Chain A
């Protein structure tokens, strides 16, 4: 990463002479996009931005008294937010000498592979940013509140929470409480949402505890033979270990709300390659355009540790 803007013969000088047995390029285990499962793929429909409008539906029905008039309800716009699409780039410029004099390999495909790796990696970091900034002041969603909050305003009035009043370290009890919290999500119209818990998302530091809590048939950490209710009921589809979560004791529970965590893809990876006639340099550039965002907080609940 921290390199000069040109690849010259001085960039990999050992490639200029025979005798090297191996170049360790760290590409044999390419990066997997862990967060892709968590985000719904969307299109910005040819625009440089993405905009979603949250609708507040109708509340509970009311009983009509004999001879009394009927009452009306309405369908309203709760909020909307416009998100600008980002353009992410990575490029390399190689001198003709650096390409010609490399006695081992064709530099161009190697550089292209490195650039592609970089873009895939960065895209997943951008996904994780949504989680890492979930309580960062100013990183607000359409409702004017951060993603994970104890006080999301509702169009129908009142508040709903996707964060417990007091954060807890990850444990079986804490996960049960968060599942209950998700069950209590309110829709903009004030009705209880029907969203269900789906994935447990944890940083590397919590992967073993997450495995025990989800996979154990009996309750973890107790001498009793009570069943592990979370496992027994099959509430959580799977747990996802995500290296890009920056806080080692934060953990999240996503739901099946499809329009919540969104990955807007404006343009997939585009590759361009050309030669500079003045220097004979070869320039390879890749770009892609996307934006990670959240339309609705109901796609996730979280805790940032005790």
Chain B
């Protein structure tokens, strides 16, 4: 049975760190739409206050190969101008607070594999891989990020570490678009360079 091809970014699967969310801000200077489930990185943009809120850490959507600061759990849509409670994402060039789960080596996330030219197999558990950034969904607000199955390797400098497969009846292991469990390997708070994995 084929897996459903529906990217959703990084979804918190095991909150082993039990860490709280951090309110961050994506300043309007960033021109990339950002979605729930997107990995984000700290970025050199001036922080901004929104509606008397705090000067929060500025973040933007992480690209493939970028060390990760955390994962967006949601956005604060209540802003003085341009408020649209019908959406769940952050449109381009809009200053908006977001709730970020800081990357922690203990936390486990699930993510869909793109499985385009190489399909993740059981032998890939323990190896590292990068994300591939796809277009988010402006209707559901969900991220388009997936695990780039072509990048699996033992190399330390890869963003995610594959630690297993999602044990759900509808998730077919070894079949395209499977959901895998990952930890964040290149972590801006703990270890920018990442830790080597095992060979695929």
Listed in ascending order, the chain A residues whose CB lies under 8 Å from chain B are: 2-11, 13-14, 16-17, 93, 95, 122, 125-126, 128-129, 132, 246, 278-279
Listed in ascending order, the chain B residues whose CB lies under 8 Å from chain A are: 1, 6, 8, 11-13, 15, 20-21, 36-37, 71-78, 84-88, 98-99, 101, 141-142, 168-170
Determine the chain B residues whose CB is within 8 A of the CB of A13 once the complex forms: 75, 77-78, 84-88
The 8 Å CB contact of B21, one of A3, A6, A129, is A6
Contact (A9, B74) CB under 8 Å given A2-B11, A14-B86, A95-B21: yes
How distant is A130 from chain B, measured CB to nearest CB, in Å? 11
Determine the chain A residues whose CB is within 8 A of the CB of B72 once the complex forms: 4
Contact (A10, B21) CB under 8 Å given A5-B12, A5-B15: no
Contact (A6, B85) CB under 8 Å given A11-B74, A125-B169, A126-B169: no
Determine the chain A residues whose CB is within 8 A of the CB of B75 once the complex forms: 10, 13
Is the beta-carbon distance between A279 and B20 smaller than 8 angstroms? yes
CA gap between A7 and B73 in the complex, in Å? 8
Determine the chain B residues whose CB is within 8 A of the CB of A279 once the complex forms: 20-21
How distant is A74 from chain B, measured CB to nearest CB, in Å? 41
CA gap between A17 and B11 in the complex, in Å? 27
Is the beta-carbon distance between A6 and B169 smaller than 8 angstroms? no
Contact (A6, B170) CB under 8 Å given A11-B88, A16-B85, A93-B15: no
User: What is the chain A residue whose CB lies nearest that of B170?
Assistant: A125
Contact (A4, B78) CB under 8 Å given A13-B85, A95-B21, A246-B1: no
Is the beta-carbon distance between A2 and B15 smaller than 8 angstroms? no
How distant is B149 from chain A, measured CB to nearest CB, in Å? 18
Determine the chain B residues whose CB is within 8 A of the CB of A14 once the complex forms: 85-86
Determine the chain A residues whose CB is within 8 A of the CB of B99 once the complex forms: 6, 8, 10, 95
CA gap between A8 and B77 in the complex, in Å? 11
Interface CB pairs A-B, < 8 A, 20: A2-B142, A4-B37, A5-B11, A5-B13, A5-B101, A6-B74, A6-B99, A6-B101, A8-B21, A9-B77, A10-B36, A10-B74, A13-B77, A13-B85, A13-B86, A13-B87, A95-B99, A125-B169, A132-B1, A279-B21
